[in-house]
Structure 1
């Protein structure tokens, strides 16, 4: 049991090789990584988390800036069962929410899964990345979980960089990946929508 700050510092340094004493400046590369969306390249210590939690958080780090992915996508990328409960618990244990962008994860209906953030923080982070939640809500109300392009015959998550380039006249909404496949569309290789 830790009894004082000096004991905590000693144990922390023994475990991580780094000091726990607060620095006056962020470590080199942090600000540019956050500003450019390249935070996934920074090393992160996930010691103390279970294998499931680590798998979920590593999958979250692969979601590009300005894009969202549903929990089923996260489960598939982390090679886990798609039960939302354990995944949401893993998101809530995120030790570094600014470096592991849990604000990019949604429930299946499109609602944000902000388990790792205080109220309104996830909204602010999504807004800063240019994610238009009102447009996504409108698409969800129309039943568009995926967007296809009638010119390329590819379907994507609506926030995928490729889906955002589809002009309105060429957008084909799909409620399920199965419906997109039955219509002759193939999954985007970039956002890799869940195919179940």
Structure 2
């Protein structure tokens, strides 16, 4: 005969099932059930990238923030970071904002809606210019400044405050001497992202050591940024290296209309 103290043991198998983890979007389901308007909070997901996990938050209209977990960022820490930056709560969801998964897979996020309204016009112009850099290509700070219509000194600061890591591809920006400008990333992260896009880092380093900034074609008489799709099609016998846009112009070459290098 079991004592009263032994009775709870019989219920153990049934209680074990109550310890199961709730669904990822449990909090969102609760808020929807009680009728809280979706516009009053953001949701976020964690997606895989070439360098680890990326937390991506969004309102119903646009992506409102993204941060890599490469520095040990946890979900709780991301929620706090997002609240500090935007003033909005972010709740874990099972469904990413439309277009985010495709943008991460292809590296093409130019048309993805990203909310930059918390930033001033200068920072917005810089970040939009960065968004225009094609996948697998690099552009220098001077190019960003020219495209954004801002002073070069304003560019690096804006990159460091990038609110949507990877989706706004700051890893595609270099200083004007060709070295990476990874103001928004921890050491090694930018190189990993560039390698994942097929950028030949060793070749780029070698060209930069030789002082090559632009590459011209002696058949078209056009010069491009080194990673421009047109530059990559120039066969070695027809490649003409240039250190400056002025040098290219004096040699009778004109700027590529696709990559729009800084003109003379």
Note whether the superposition's TM-score is higher than 0.5. Answer: yes
For 1:98 and 1:81, locate their aligned partners in 2 and report how far apart those are by CA, in whole Å.
24
Contact 1:13/1:20 (<8 A) preserved = no
For 2:108 and 2:203, locate their aligned partners in 1 and report how far apart those are by CA, in whole Å.
25
Pairwise CA RMSD of aligned residues? 2.1
Q: What are structure 2's unaligned runs of at least 5 residues?
A: 1-30, 43-57, 61-88
Task: Say whether 1:162 aligns with 2:237.
Answer: no
Contact 2:139/2:225 (<8 A) preserved = yes
For 2:105 and 2:59, locate their aligned partners in 1 and report how far apart those are by CA, in whole Å.
27
Deviation at 1:157, TM superposition (A): 0.3
TM-score for both structures, normalised by structure 1: 0.88
Q: What are structure 1's unaligned runs of at least 5 residues?
A: 1-5
Contact 1:146/1:177 (<8 A) preserved = yes
Moved over 6 A (4+): none
**Rg comparison, structure with higher value:** 2
- 1:171-190 alignment, distance < 5 Å: 171-190=239-258
- Which structure shows the bigger proportion of residues in strand conformation? 2
TM-score for both structures, normalised by structure 2: 0.66
Deviation at 1:166, TM superposition (A): 0.7
Aligned residue-pair number: 186
For 1:120 and 1:166, locate their aligned partners in 2 and report how far apart those are by CA, in whole Å.
30
Deviation at 1:142, TM superposition (A): 1.6
Larger relative contact order (Cα-Cα within 8 Å, sequence gap ≥ 6): 1
Cα deviation, 1:158-182, whole Å, max 9, x if unaligned, reads 0000001111111100000011011
